[in-house]
């Protein structure tokens, strides 16, 4: 992008999709100590598109869960381009339950073009797995902090993003589906994706204005320091709340969004 150019929403979509953007693995390495990956949904499968495990943040045990993309073709195939199957969401739920049992805060990193839409995923209960992941996130009795780092599309993103505190990188996007999918449904023409972006209101600035996220993290040299500062402050704030207060506040947060933006019938 040209320096000082005013970025359009579609420009930000292109930036969010860039292959050289940091992945969840990069953030884990930079922000946490002693990360230990945990695999499997304990029902018979492992989905590498979800990376999760236990780590330390400034000495505090936390559970980290995030969508995983690759930079090479080989890795993208391995991680299914960040598109998660039911097994991945079931793994996320397993790790959330474990975090709740041992009273560890949960930190999620969102970067997905959407849940995997294949026949096998649907056969294995994709919609149920997403719904159960959303429900578990909302009812967790430990703090949940979400950071949208790239693409945050559809239920695939929402499955692990219903946190107490939701932040976005300044060039990340967060939407009900991809702009191409929106354009294909509304106008039967996926090539009108740029036009769809203007209508969908998917950028960090727009979503903060509407109150759908809690803050924006600047991109550049200061990104990691800003992320550390935010995590430290939010973990301190949320850790002071009782389990009952956490769940009640999170419930009110999302009921307010539903009531504020639900279509009138």
Q: What is residue 265's predicted lDDT score, i.e. its pLDDT?
A: 38
Question: CATH code at 36?
Answer: 3.90.226.10
Q: What's the whole-model pTM score?
A: 0.93
- The 8-class DSSP code of residue 203 comes to B
Inside any domain, residue 200: yes
Domain range spanning residue 16? 9-260
Inside any domain, residue 2: no
Closest by CA position to 140, among listed 243, 66, 65, 214: 243
Inside any domain, residue 4: no
Q: What is residue 255's predicted lDDT score, i.e. its pLDDT?
A: 86
Inside any domain, residue 239: yes
| Residue 192 CB coordination number (10 Å) | 17
Inside any domain, residue 1: no
Closest by CA position to 168, among listed 214, 201, 133: 214
CA distance 48 to 115: 13
Q: How many domains does the chain have?
A: 1
Inside any domain, residue 201: yes
Mean pLDDT, the chain cut into blocks of 10 residues (265 residues total) = 76 95 96 97 92 98 96 92 96 98 98 94 94 96 98 95 97 95 95 95 95 96 97 97 96 79 47
CA distances from 28 to 51, 96, 212, 263 (A): 10, 17, 25, 38
Inside any domain, residue 42: yes
Q: What is residue 5's predicted lDDT score, i.e. its pLDDT?
A: 75
Inside any domain, residue 75: yes
């Amino acid at each position: 992008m040209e320096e000082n150019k005013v970025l359009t929403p579609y420009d930000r979509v292109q930036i969010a999709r860039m292959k050289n953007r940091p992945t969840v693995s990069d953030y884990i390495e930079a922000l946490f100590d002693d990360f230990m990956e945990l695999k499997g949904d304990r029902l018979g499968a492992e989905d590498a598109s979800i990376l999760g495990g236990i780590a330390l943040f400034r000495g505090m045990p936390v559970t980290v869960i995030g969508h995983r993309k690759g930079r090479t073709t080989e890795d993208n195939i391995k991680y299914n381009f960040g598109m998660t199957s039911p097994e991945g969401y079931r793994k996320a739920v397993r790790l959330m339950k474990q975090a709740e049992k041992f009273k560890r805060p949960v930190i999620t990193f969102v970067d997905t073009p959407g849940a995997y839409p294949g026949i096998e995923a649907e056969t294995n209960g994709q919609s149920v797995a997403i719904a159960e992941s959303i429900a578990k996130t909302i009812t967790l009795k430990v703090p949940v902090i979400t950071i949208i780092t790239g693409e945050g599309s559809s239920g695939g993103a929402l499955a692990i993003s219903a946190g107490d505190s939701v932040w976005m990188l300044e060039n990340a996007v967060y939407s009900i589906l991809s702009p191409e999918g929106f354009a294909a449904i509304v106008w039967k023409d996926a090539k009108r994706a740029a036009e769809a972006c203007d209508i969908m209101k998917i950028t960090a600035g727009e979503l903060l204005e509407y109150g759908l996220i809690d803050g924006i993290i600047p991109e550049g040299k200061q990104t990691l320091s800003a992320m550390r500062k935010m995590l430290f402050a939010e973990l301190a704030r949320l850790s002071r709340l009782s389990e009952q207060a956490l769940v009640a506040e999170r419930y009110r947060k999302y009921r307010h969004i539903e009531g504020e933006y639900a279509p009138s019938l």
